[in-house]
């Protein structure tokens, strides 16, 4: 079985997935030899033109530099320096838009060319065979050589001999349409390329060197083979022509085709024993070692129908694109776009002020008919053509979504960094989505995110180490303090014979106990003082309220009494069984007696209030008003009790039919007694009132106030009488025996009401007789007021008598035609009450008229 090296020498090729076959358009720029562009007016030289870190700037504004002079310094292989491509003066050092799809601003040096092209002193060529790999790496790195195939990876890093290298592969495929810079370079400078390959072979010592070139570059392949034969290196260097397909020039794709090996994710070709270099990079290595010239220029293809004659040009690094377009007479008005790079991996420049870098190999200016019509991209239709064309076996559709969403994590999960930016996906996309452009911007974001994460990790590590250091220092400091305290304690104990810490603790405890005792006494005294102060404040507040705030207790008590009586009555009515019927005569009698008693008590309290004599000559004393309020409260309480008794009486159920007959006589006696008592009390109060001499010279006499109160009490009594009469009218007896006593009860009630009216009239007359004016001024208005009130009372009494007569007539019509005969022990006959009631009503009316006339005569006096 042949070894891998033998298979490769025999011309075996392998295949990779994906790839496309775009139109080549290469012959337009290969008809002319390489020309050299003029020195422009100025150069804009980016400090960082490679993968890695930018070097330290060595020049300042205003410095004159020579051709080949370093502008930045390199302290590692990943920091590639830049050099002055020609002589001139440093005009500006600032940020300029980078020649990148993202146009991210980067530090660049603006060099104004003096057109003299003065160079640093020439150096002798190096004998690379006498130098070690490390020494050659240093020279290559200091010459600023980086990958010129497009990646820009520092060349010296890839040329290490730390691990064995089996294959050195030279990438001469140049698969992208329109680009012919490597093709022309191999045609015209094949010997220099082979010499550069020899330097690399000396450094890494591979078993075999393979040059991979597409079969559409037969002239270049022939030139390389001629140079190999001239140096008799046929056994060590072989040229393999590969079928033309895009992207054959990709590193992993060409390795797969030439060796059959696949580079795993995260690995570099050197780990598989392979090193690959571009043709242009090999030529730059030869210039750095043999010619001792740093990387100052490169070959660029100027193509597209906007150029009158496409060609390949040797151009200084940092030359503005605008200078090249002007020098080679590009018709910018005719050009549909200015593309930096090829049509597949290149990107459109917004303007021509960008500068050429070490990785730029083509300026394409196609006209409208030369490229597909540019239009707004459509939405992705998920056709999958991009996935089939991808040579790295990625999922471009998913990368498109996540790049638009700026989802860095998902982009990493879907291996965005493995994308070689070949543009095959964009080429086959029917929606014309600029996928590669999106991926390039997303890669920048991913790198920035990774840099931030790395910086955060470093900062976290430093923070944790700082905390550890501070904790250690704190522990050491506390230990030192503890040891010093122990030492001081031992010294004090040895000197005084007493533990100073224990003594200090005892002193603190004693002081604390004394402080607590003092605080307890102070708090006890303050508590007593606070209590006394609160008592005084309450007393003062009560005094001020009694003097300033009117006492509404009587009104409130009266309202509460009325509410309680109404609530009790409702409860009594609701709790009374439906089958039981209460005698209306008993209820009315008891209510009348209780009402008469309440009014008598109210009169007594009012009379007692009148016995108080004011002792000052000024306005009336407030004492009578207070007593009157108390009297009103007492009257309200008495009325409430009367209502309660009436409610209780309503709940009494007669046990037999025979018990109903003696009740009227008993109730009548009680009513007569109550009326006599009321009249006696009224006479007594009138006599007491006559003994009270008025001493007030000013303001209104108390008699008028008492008259008002008596009128109010009379009005309240009349209202209650009306209410009882109304209740009696609503009661319907359930038996025939209950009809007979009702007229007698009503007559008795009328007699009671007449007696009450007479007592009130007598009291009012007595009060009027006691009122004597003591001043020479106008007569007091009290008699007139009393006369008015007496007239009102008389009118009310007449109305009441009429109402009672009407009620009695109504009651008489609703009874049966004949009155039932009482039992044998009662009287023989029962007379009708209608004549009696009329007679009593006439008597009450006559009394009221006499009372009114008497009050009127008093008022005239």
Residue 434: closest CA among 350, 353, 357, 343: 343
Q: Which of 167-176, 357-366, 392-401, 792-801 has the lowest mean pLDDT?
A: 792-801
What pLDDT does residue 618 have?
37
Distance CA 342, CA 482 (A): 76
* Residue 177: pLDDT over 70: yes
Across the range 456-465, mean pLDDT stands at: 94
CA distance 45 to 295: 12
Q: Which positions ≥6 away from 195 have C-beta within 8 Å?
A: 286, 290
| Average pLDDT estimate for 594-608 | 67
Question: Which run of H or of E encompasses 214?
Answer: strand 208-214
Residue 445 reports pLDDT greater than 70? yes
The predicted structure's pLDDT at residue 764: 58
Total count of residues recorded for the chain: 861
Residue with more model confidence, 635 or 298: 298
Q: Mean pLDDT, to the nearest integer, of 672-694?
A: 55
Burial class (CB in 10 A: 0-12, 13-18, 19+), 801: buried
Summarised one tens digit per residue, pLDDT across range 637-679 is 656 665 665 555 444 443 334 333 444 444 555 655 555 665 6
- Nearest CA to 187 among 209, 201, 172? 172
What mean pLDDT do residues 413-420 have?
90
- Residue whose tokens read 């497009």: 150
Nearest to 281 by CA among 165, 387, 376, 157: 157
Residue with tokens 């150096």, as numbered in its chain: 123
Among the listed residues 427, 418, 466, the one whose alpha carbon sits nearest the alpha carbon of residue 175: 427
Interval 811-833 mean pLDDT: 40
pLDDT at 798 over 90: no
Residue 715 has pLDDT above 70, yes or no: no
Q: Which helix (H) or strand (E) holds 856?
A: helix 834-860
Mean per-residue pLDDT for 756-777? 52
Question: Quick one: DSSP state of residue 246?
Answer: B
Provide the pairing of β-strand 42-46 with 274-278. unpaired
pLDDT tens for 45-69 read: 999 988 888 889 999 999 999 999 9
Task: Report angle CA 581, 585, 586 to the nearest 5 degrees.
Answer: 80
Contacts with 651 (C-beta within 8 Å, 6 or more apart), sequence order: 572, 575, 576, 582
pLDDT band, very low/low/confident/very high, at 327 (cuts 50, 70, 90):
very high
Report yes or no: 105 and 96 within 8 Å, Cβ to Cβ: yes
The candidate with the shortest Cα–Cα distance to 355, out of 106, 115, 148, is 106
Q: Is 425 annotated as a binding residue?
A: yes
Residue 607: the pLDDT is 61
3-state secondary structure at position 299: strand
Does 386 belong to an annotated binding site? yes
pTM: 0.55
- Alpha-carbon distance 809 to 281, whole Å? 140
Cis peptide before 507 (omega within 30 of 0): no
Beta bridge partners, 212, equal: 171, 240
Would you state the pLDDT for residue 187? 94
What confidence tens digit (pLDDT) does each residue in 532-582 have?
888 888 887 776 665 555 556 667 777 888 888 888 878 777 655 444 444
DSSP collapsed to 3 states, 571-630: HHHHHCCCCCCCCHHHHHHHHHHHHHHHHHHHHHHHHHHHCCCCCCCCCCCCHHHHHHHH
* pLDDT at position 684: 64
Strands (E), 3-162: 35-36, 42-46, 56-57, 64-65, 72-73, 88-97, 105-113
pLDDT band at 186 (very low <50, low <70, confident <90, very high): very high
Tokens of 273: 């024993």
| Predicted local distance difference test score (pLDDT) of residue 722 | 65
Q: How many CB atoms lie within 10 A of CB 659?
A: 10
Most confident of 244-253, 497-506, 764-773: 244-253
**Has 311 been labeled as part of a binding site?**
no
Q: How confident is the model at residue 526 (pLDDT cuts 50, 70, 90)?
A: low
3-class secondary-structure state, position 691: coil
Q: Is 383 annotated as a binding residue?
A: yes
- SS3 state of residue 311: strand
Cβ atoms of 682 and 763 within 8 Å: the answer is yes
pLDDT reading at 16 higher than 60: yes
Q: What is the mean pLDDT of residues 408-415?
A: 91
Q: Would you say residue 360 has pLDDT above 60?
A: yes
* Residue 613 phi, psi dihedral angles, 5° rounding: -105, 125
Which among 214, 192, 362 has a CA at the least distance from the CA of 290? Answer: 192
Question: Rounded to whole angstroms, how far apart are CA atoms 118 and 89?
Answer: 12
pLDDT in tens, 124-162: 888 999 999 999 999 999 999 998 887 788 999 889 878
Residue 759: is its pLDDT beyond 80? no
Residue whose token pair is 């597209």: 304
pLDDT at 416: 92
Mean predicted confidence (pLDDT) in 23-38: 92
The confidence score (pLDDT) of residue 442 equals 92
The pLDDT, as a whole number, for residue 203 is 93
* Contact assessment for residue 335 and residue 300, using Cβ atoms and an 8 Å cutoff: no
* DSSP-H helix ranges across 274-320: 279-289
Instruction: Give CA separation, 559 vs 160, 512, 705, in Å.
Output: 113, 62, 22
Mean pLDDT computed over 473-499 = 87
Contacts of 255 (CB under 8 A, 6+ apart): 169, 261, 262, 263, 269, 272, 274, 276
* Lowest model confidence (mean pLDDT) among 109-123, 143-157, 316-330, 747-761: 747-761
Query: How far, in Å, are 173, 421, 535, 649 from residue 424 at the CA level?
Result: 16, 8, 100, 113
User: Which pLDDT does position 824 carry in this prediction?
Assistant: 38
- Please tell me the predicted confidence (pLDDT) of residue 599: 73
Confidence of residue 503 (pLDDT cuts 50, 70, 90): confident
Q: Which residue has the tokens 């002319």?
A: 32
* Cα torsion 37, 38, 44, 48: sign: positive
380 among annotated binding-site residues? yes
More confident residue, 101 or 591: 101
Distance CA 268, CA 261 (A): 12
Q: Is the pLDDT of residue 42 over 60?
A: yes
Shortest CA distance to 69 belongs to which of 56, 93, 88? 88
pLDDT in tens, 834-845: 444 556 666 766
Q: What pLDDT score was predicted for residue 565?
A: 80
Q: In which band, very low, low, confident or very high, does the pLDDT at 828 lie, cut at 50, 70 and 90?
A: very low
pLDDT of residue 726: 55
Model confidence at 626: pLDDT above 70: no
On whether 422 is known to bind a ligand per the annotation, the reply is: yes
The DSSP element (H or E) to which 181 belongs, if any, is helix 181-188
What would the two tokens of residue 473 be?
């220092």
pLDDT at 615: 38
How many whole angstroms separate alpha carbon 791 and alpha carbon 304? Answer: 130
The reported pLDDT for the residue numbered 725 is 53
* DSSP classification of residue 215: T
pLDDT in tens, 528-545: 777 888 888 888 777 666
Could you tell me the sign of the dihedral formed by the alpha carbons of 760, 762, 766, 768, in that order?
positive
Per-residue tokens: 47: 């400090």
Q: What is the mean pLDDT of residues 164-176?
A: 93
On whether the CB atoms of residues 113 and 87 are closer than 8 A, the answer is: yes
Taking a C-beta distance cutoff of 8 angstroms, is the pair 148, 359 a contact?
Answer: yes
Q: Which helix (H) or strand (E) holds 211?
A: strand 208-214
pLDDT for the residue numbered 541: 74
DSSP secondary structure code for residue 662 in this structure: S
* Residues 401 and 62 sit within 8 Å (Cβ to Cβ): no
């Amino acid at each position: 079985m042949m070894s891998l090296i033998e298979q490769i020498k025999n011309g075996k090729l392998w295949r990779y997935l994906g790839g496309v076959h775009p139109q080549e358009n290469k012959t337009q720029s290969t008809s002319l030899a390489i020309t050299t562009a003029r020195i422009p007016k100025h150069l804009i030289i980016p400090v960082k033109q490679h993968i890695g870190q930018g070097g330290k700037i060595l020049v300042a504004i205003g410095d004159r530099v020579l051709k080949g002079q370093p502008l930045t310094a390199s302290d590692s292989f990943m920091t590639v320096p830049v050099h002055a491509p020609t002589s001139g003066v440093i005009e500006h050092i600032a940020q300029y838009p980078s020649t990148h799809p993202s146009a991210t601003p980067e530090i660049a040096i603006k060099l104004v060319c003096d057109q003299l092209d003065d160079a640093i002193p020439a150096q002798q060529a190096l004998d690379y065979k006498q130098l070690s790999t490390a020494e050659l790496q240093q020279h290559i790195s200091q010459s600023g050589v980086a990958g010129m195939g497009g990646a820009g990876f520092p060349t010296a890093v890839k040329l290490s001999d730390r691990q064995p290298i089996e294959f050195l592969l030279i990438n001469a495929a140049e698969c992208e349409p329109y680009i012919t810079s490597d093709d022309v370079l191999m045609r015209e400078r094949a010997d220099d390329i082979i010499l550069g390959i020899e330097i690399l072979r000396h450094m890494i010592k591979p078993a075999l060197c393979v040059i991979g070139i597409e079969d559409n570059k037969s002239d270049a392949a022939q030139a390389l083979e001629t140079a190999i034969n001239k140096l008799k290196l046929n056994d060590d260097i072989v040229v393999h022509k590969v079928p033309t397909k895009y992207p054959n020039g990709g590193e992993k794709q060409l390795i797969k085709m030439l060796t059959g090996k696949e580079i795993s994710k995260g690995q570099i070709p050197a780990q598989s024993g392979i090193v690959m270099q571009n043709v242009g990079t090999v030529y730059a290595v030869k210039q750095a070692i043999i010619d001792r010239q740093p990387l100052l220029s490169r070959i660029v293809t100027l193509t597209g129908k906007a150029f009158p004659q496409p060609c390949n040009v040797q151009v200084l690094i940092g030359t503005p694109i605008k200078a090249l377009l002007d020098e080679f007479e590009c018709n910018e008005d005719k050009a549909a776009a200015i593309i930096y790079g090829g049509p597949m991996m290149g990107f459109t420049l917004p303007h021509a002020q960008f500068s050429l870098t070490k990785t730029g190999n083509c300026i394409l200016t196609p006209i409208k008919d030369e490229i597909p019509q540019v239009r707004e991209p459509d939405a992705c239709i998920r056709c999958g053509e991009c996935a089939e064309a991808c040579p790295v076996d990625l999922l471009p559709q998913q990368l498109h979504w996540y790049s638009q969403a700026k989802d860095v994590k998902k982009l990493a999960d879907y291996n965005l960094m493995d994308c070689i930016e070949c543009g095959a996906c964009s080429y086959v996309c029917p929606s014309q989505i600029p996928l590669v452009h999106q991926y390039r911007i997303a890669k920048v974001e991913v790198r920035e995110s990774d840099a931030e994460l790395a910086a955060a990790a470093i900062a976290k590590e430093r923070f944790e180490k700082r905390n550890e250091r501070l904790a250690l220092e704190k522990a050491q400091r506390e230990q030192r303090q503890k040891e010093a305290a122990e030492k001081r304690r031992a010294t004090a104990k040895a000197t005084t014979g007493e533990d100073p810490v224990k003594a200090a603790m005892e002193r603190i405890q004693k002081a604390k106990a004394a402080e607590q005792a003092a605080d307890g006494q102070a708090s006890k005294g303050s508590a007593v003082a606070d209590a006394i102060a609160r008592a005084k404040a309450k007393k003062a507040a009560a005094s001020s309220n009694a003097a300033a705030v009117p006492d509404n207790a009587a009104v409130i008590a009266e309202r509460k009494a009325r509410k309680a009586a109404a609530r009790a009555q409702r409860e009594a009515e609701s709790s009374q069984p439906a089958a039981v019927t209460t005698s209306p005569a008993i209820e009315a009698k008891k209510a009348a007696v209780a009402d008469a008693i309440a009014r008598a008590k109210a009169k007594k309290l009012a009379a007692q209030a009148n016995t108080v004599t004011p002792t000052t000559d000024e306005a009336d004393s407030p004492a009578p008003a207070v007593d009157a309020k108390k009297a009103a409260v007492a009257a309200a309480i008495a009325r409430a009790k009367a209502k309660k008794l009436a409610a209780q009486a309503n709940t009494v159920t007669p046990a037999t039919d025979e018990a109903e007959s003696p009740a009227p006589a008993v109730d009548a006696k009680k009513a007569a007694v109550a009326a006599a008592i009321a009249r006696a009390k009224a006479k007594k109060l009138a006599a007491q009132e006559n003994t009270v001499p008025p001493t007030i010279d000013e303001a209104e006499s108390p008699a008028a106030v008492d008259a008002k109160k008596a009128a109010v009490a009379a009005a309240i009594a009349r209202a209650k009488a009306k209410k009882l009469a109304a209740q009696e009218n609503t009661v319907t007896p359930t038996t025939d025996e209950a009809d007979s006593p009702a007229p007698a009860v009503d007559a008795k009630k009328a007699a009671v009401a007449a007696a009450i009216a007479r007592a009130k009239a007598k009291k009012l007359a007595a009060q009027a007789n006691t009122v004597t004016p003591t001043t020479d001024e106008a007569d007091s208005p009290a008699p007139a007021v009393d006369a008015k009130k007496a007239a009102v009372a008389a009118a009310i009494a007449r109305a009441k008598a009429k109402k009672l007569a009407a009620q009695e007539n109504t009651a008489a019509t609703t009874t049966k035609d004949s009155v039932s005969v009482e039992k044998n022990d009662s009287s023989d006959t029962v007379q009708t009450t209608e004549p009696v009631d009329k007679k009593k009503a006439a008597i009450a009316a006559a009394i009221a008229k006499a009372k009114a006339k008497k009050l009127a005569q008093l008022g005239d006096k």
